[in-house]
Amino acid sequence: MIACLRLFTALCLAALLAACASSPSSSLGELPRTPDASLEQLLQQATESTNPEKAALLRLSAADLAQRQQNNARAAQILAMVPLDQLKPAQQVFANTLAAELAMSRNDPKAAVAALNHPSTAILGELPVDLQVRTRTVHARALEADGQALAAARERTALSQNLTGEAANSNNDAIWALVASLPVEQLHSQSNDVLGGWMSLALAVKSAGTLQDQQNAIDQWRAQNPAHPAAIQLPTPLIKLKELASQPLTKIALLLPQDGQLASVSKALRDGFMAAHYQAQQAGQNPPSIQFYDSSRLTSLDDFYRQAQADGVQLVVGPLEKSLVKQLSTRQQLPITTLALNYSEGTQSPAQLFQFGLAAEDEAREVARRARADGLTRAGAMVPVGEWGDRVLKAFRQEWEAHGGSVVGVEHIDKPVALAQQVADLVQLRKNGGSAEPTRRQDMQFLFLAATPQQAQQIKPTLNYQYAGDLPVYATSHVFSASGDQNQYNDMNGIRFCETPWLLDPSNPLRQQVSAQWPQASGSLGRLYAMGIDAYRLAPSLGQLKALPDSRIDGMSGSLSMSPTQRVERQLPWAEFVNGQPQRLPATVN
């Protein structure tokens, strides 16, 4: 009886090993298969096996099974028991693919990319198709999450030859999203391969201005590249663009208050909006007609939309009042597509509502991007006391920490008399040994500052006084009043700040034209004129930005893109105070 049991156990072990491994593939090694055994059975057999290679193969199967069961911690624990350097090449690829998948489950794309940089991946093309697809898929995901869009597109292009049907279409949409996110200067590919074709398509679309121009560029590209996968089956966003091109915009409603506290803001926005309209007319374009509505006299948003529909309006630009934008954001749908000139607090809004404004949160995120591009990782922060300062700090912190940065100290600016002490508290002066000479903390690499010019005038000299004059300061545009008074900025030399292209480029022809008629457009009100101009330019392009999420419009208030929640977000250029004057800084590549 005991002999029979032993024979039965040996047969079971042989069956398990056969189920767990593919047939030998020359010197590349056997690969695990989906086993018929449980996780614990696989581990037990691995423990009892006297053959190290088969034991490793069983553990690879067990780790893979645990991952498929979404028990990632157990999978990682089992995988750590497998001696990677003792595996054959095919098994190393399998193990590294699994390691990359587990790294992505921990939101660690760098570890995933590192795992797949193993020399064994050179043989990937010789391995079974299902493993090629699995490896390339996780590699593309990891590269994209690590900000390597071009490398991710290259990986997905290689993957495409092993896909058919809906999987191939989805992969093509992913390739398009990646190449469309690349800056124009990266799209000038000299290669005639499939990826080069994708890049030339993205360049053609990005280089075209209007929807019709883009449609013509797509048609011409397809005629020149009839065998390319994107010509055979257009990516979904480009199909949507074709639909948009058949619906030209002919009439816009401009809904702004003519009276009340926002009247002066409204006037600057309206003047900027109309300046862009007249410029389009002078350029020989056929712009949509504009009809004005006074939001300060509204009795009902429903009545307004009924009237606008009766007037033949296709797009509403406005309102400006936050209370009205909040009302719109709570509705299930709107009768007319609307570009609100302010933001609601919530994240949910109807599909027909887009939101655009000069959000300080955009600038806080811009500071985080710039500091990260400059190689910095540890920040201090000074923001005003109150709800506005809290929002700005939250936006900065979220963007900063999402990419691995840390905030090591925060001070909330309150009363001017306390400012010097707050600066001292933030840089945490310490005694240097037994000496009385203080030094600043070394774990803070720069200071994020959201402050008025008057506050910045006090903060920068105080940093110098507190032995922290070498601490870089990255600020929002609020430090710059555009008053033209050099004396105001002499104490702020060295502060870097983001600002609208409008105020940093006085030679722009449209700015010169607008400022000649409205001199105040050269000062801080210029930001509102720029926003009005950009609202006009956004009006016919909302569908484009929605269909092409990674595309941008180079505007006067910043480089504009669309978030998934249909909020227009700005990226801004940078300047630094030098000898009391703002001096524009070169752009960085994030």
**96-106: b (≥16 Cβ within 10 Å) or e:** bbbbbbbbbee
Confidence of residue 439 (pLDDT cuts 50, 70, 90): low
Q: Which residue has the tokens 């409008």?
A: 502
pLDDT of residue 239: 87
pLDDT of residue 417: 66
Q: Is the pLDDT of residue 432 over 90?
A: no
Secondary structure, 3-state, 207-238: HCCCHHHHHHHHHHHHHHCCCCHHHHCCCHHH
Classify domain 1-147 at the CATH topology level.
1.25.40
Contacts of 429 by beta carbon, 8 Å cutoff, 6+ apart: 438, 439, 440, 466, 467
Is the whole-model pTM more than 0.85? no
More confident residue, 398 or 285: 398
The average pLDDT across 57-65 equals 88
Distance CA 293, CA 290 (A): 10
Instruction: State what percent of residues in the chain have pLDDT above 70.
Output: 91
pLDDT tens digits for range 171-219: 999 999 899 888 777 888 778 899 999 999 999 988 776 677 888 899 9
The average pLDDT across 295-301 equals 94
What's the mean per-residue pLDDT of the chain?
Answer: 87
> Where exactly are the structural domains of the chain?
1-147, 248-355+516-555, 360-499+575-584
> Residue 340 in contact with residue 325, Cβ under 8 Å?
yes
Classify domain 360-499+575-584 at the CATH topology level.
Rossmann fold (3.40.50)
pLDDT of residue 546: 82
Confidence of residue 269 (pLDDT cuts 50, 70, 90): very high
- The reply to whether domains 1-147 and 360-499+575-584 share a CATH topology is no
Q: Is the pLDDT of residue 14 over 50?
A: no
Confidence of residue 538 (pLDDT cuts 50, 70, 90): very high
Q: Which segment of 75-84, 154-163, 368-377, 408-417 scores lowest on mean pLDDT?
A: 408-417
Q: Is the pLDDT of residue 267 over 70?
A: yes
Top-confidence range, 347-351, 388-392, 442-446: 388-392
> Residue 287 in contact with residue 281, Cβ under 8 Å?
yes
Distance CA 316, CA 570 (A): 21
Is the four-CA dihedral 208, 213, 219, 223 of positive or negative sign?
negative
**Could you say which architecture CATH assigns to the domain 248-355+516-555?**
3-Layer(aba) Sandwich (3.40)
Q: What is the DSSP letter of 22?
A: P
> Residue 65 in contact with residue 94, Cβ under 8 Å?
no
Q: CA separation (Å) from 399 to 367, 371, 388, 392?
A: 9, 11, 17, 11
The average pLDDT across 113-131 equals 91
